[in-house]
Chains A and B, each alone.
Chain A
């Protein structure tokens, strides 16, 4: 069936475009403008050229925060994606337990980020928190406020607890949409559980996995609230991620120019990594019978 093609349909996008213009394009234009200037408030700006960008590129503070961001994203993706797929595979496909599992899984997602930070802040305390107290009783010297390893472990555990559900729900939606005929064909062929996963389930949930991967990468790369509430970027600067550093610079120190330059570099990195991930993941394993090679 031929679909009618009408360019006037683009007018339907105008309201979204207007909203995006207000919420994204105008702020980003302003950030670009600020990144080349200095201000002392009162909307008075002084041209600074590329000075702030040079400062950012030569500052250890920026590179350290960037390194921490990448390390955090890699760790949580390495945990959440396999764990999410694993949990989704064990969830029931039909029956009374389906809604129970889905609601249980959705619960952490419903909790606001700052509340998650507060929950884990109390949970990890050795005097009143269940986790901190239990570890203390077991003889483990655990203190997320003074030990770098403990702070990182707590933040990672907190993120896994908060966001694995998202991966689970996305994978589960992908898994339940696989037609039963595939499983029947696999059964006839005598396929093992691993083969079913490798050749039926994994390729079929590839689309939702891309979304889960990208969402989790972007979210984790831009993480702010939870570590800010839990550790405030400490001990020292060990959990100061780029967003925390950015807020310290822009709002704490009111250095709008350097903060704007830093946020632009930050945004470029996010944009590039997301584009690479998206392109790679949407091209891996895709046959291209109609791919056109231009002469």
Chain B
């Protein structure tokens, strides 16, 4: 099957591998600790760990875009900020 139209590259493959890896990781976590760990955090509504992953990923996308638009194309810093943000989300939201 010719998949050249999908234009895969190493960086985009790694990006998707990370996303799929995260989803598998969440599945394994859910297997060992079922129920999604619902709680009410600083946003004052109930979130499960799936919600927290979603908020982390969405926020990270905006952090990267903001960094790109306001600072420059060196996105390693944005990745660092995103990781800190994700840890914050998982601990407090």
Contact between A268 and B62, CB atoms less than 8 A apart: yes
Give B17 Cβ to nearest chain A Cβ, in Å. Answer: 11
Alpha-carbon distance between A77 and B40 when the two chains are bound, in angstroms: 30
Contact between A37 and B7, CB atoms less than 8 A apart: yes
Categorize the interface residue count of chain A.
20 to 34
B32: chain A residues at CB < 8 Å are none
B6: chain A residues at CB < 8 Å are 26, 29-30, 33
Tell me the chain B residues, 38-65 only, with Cβ under 8 Å from chain A. 38-41, 44-46, 54, 58, 61-62, 65
Contact between A30 and B54, CB atoms less than 8 A apart: no
Alpha-carbon distance between A57 and B5 when the two chains are bound, in angstroms: 26
Given A33-B9, A49-B73, A54-B68, decide whether A271 and B39 contact each other with a Cβ distance below 8 A.
no
Give the interface of B toward A (CB within 8 A): 4-9, 11-12, 15-16, 37-41, 44-46, 54, 58, 61-62, 65, 68-69, 73, 75
A272: chain B residues at CB < 8 Å are 58, 62
Which residue in chain A gives the minimum CB-CB distance to B45? A283
A34: chain B residues at CB < 8 Å are 7
Judge whether A3 is part of the interface by a CB distance below 8 angstroms: no
Alpha-carbon distance between A150 and B40 when the two chains are bound, in angstroms: 48
Give A288 Cβ to nearest chain B Cβ, in Å. Answer: 7
Contact between A292 and B8, CB atoms less than 8 A apart: no
B69: chain A residues at CB < 8 Å are 54, 57-58
Contact between A29 and B39, CB atoms less than 8 A apart: no
Contact between B58 and A268, CB atoms less than 8 A apart: yes
Give B69 Cβ to nearest chain A Cβ, in Å. Answer: 4
Which stretch of A39-47, A89-97, A154-162, A199-207 is in the interface? A39-47
Given A32-B16, A54-B68, A275-B54, decide whether A292 and B7 contact each other with a Cβ distance below 8 A.
no
Alpha-carbon distance between A49 and B4 when the two chains are bound, in angstroms: 19
Given contacts A43-B5, A43-B7, A57-B65, 12 further A-B contacts (CB under 8 A): A32-B16, A33-B9, A36-B12, A50-B68, A53-B65, A57-B68, A265-B65, A268-B61, A275-B58, A291-B46, A292-B39, A294-B41
- Pairs A–B under 8 Å by Cβ, sample size 17: A26-B6, A33-B12, A34-B7, A36-B11, A36-B12, A39-B7, A43-B4, A50-B68, A53-B65, A54-B68, A54-B69, A58-B69, A275-B58, A288-B46, A291-B46, A293-B39, A294-B41
Judge whether A118 is part of the interface by a CB distance below 8 angstroms: no
Judge whether A279 is part of the interface by a CB distance below 8 angstroms: yes
Contact between B39 and A54, CB atoms less than 8 A apart: no
Give the interface of A toward B (CB within 8 A): 26, 29-30, 32-34, 36-37, 39, 43, 45, 47, 49-50, 53-54, 57-58, 265, 268, 271-272, 275, 279, 283, 288, 291-294
A54: chain B residues at CB < 8 Å are 68-69, 73
Most A CB within 10 A of own CB, among B4, B8, B41, B65: B65
CB-based closest 3 A-B pairs: A57-B69, A294-B39, A45-B7
A30: chain B residues at CB < 8 Å are 5-7
Contact between A29 and B16, CB atoms less than 8 A apart: yes
Alpha-carbon distance between A199 and B4 when the two chains are bound, in angstroms: 59
Alpha-carbon distance between A76 and B68 when the two chains are bound, in angstroms: 33
Alpha-carbon distance between A43 and B46 when the two chains are bound, in angstroms: 46
Give B61 Cβ to nearest chain A Cβ, in Å. Answer: 5
Contact between B45 and A50, CB atoms less than 8 A apart: no
Give A35 Cβ to nearest chain B Cβ, in Å. Answer: 9
Contact between A37 and B9, CB atoms less than 8 A apart: yes
A271: chain B residues at CB < 8 Å are 58
B15: chain A residues at CB < 8 Å are 32
Which residue in chain A gives the minimum CB-CB distance to B8? A33
A39: chain B residues at CB < 8 Å are 7
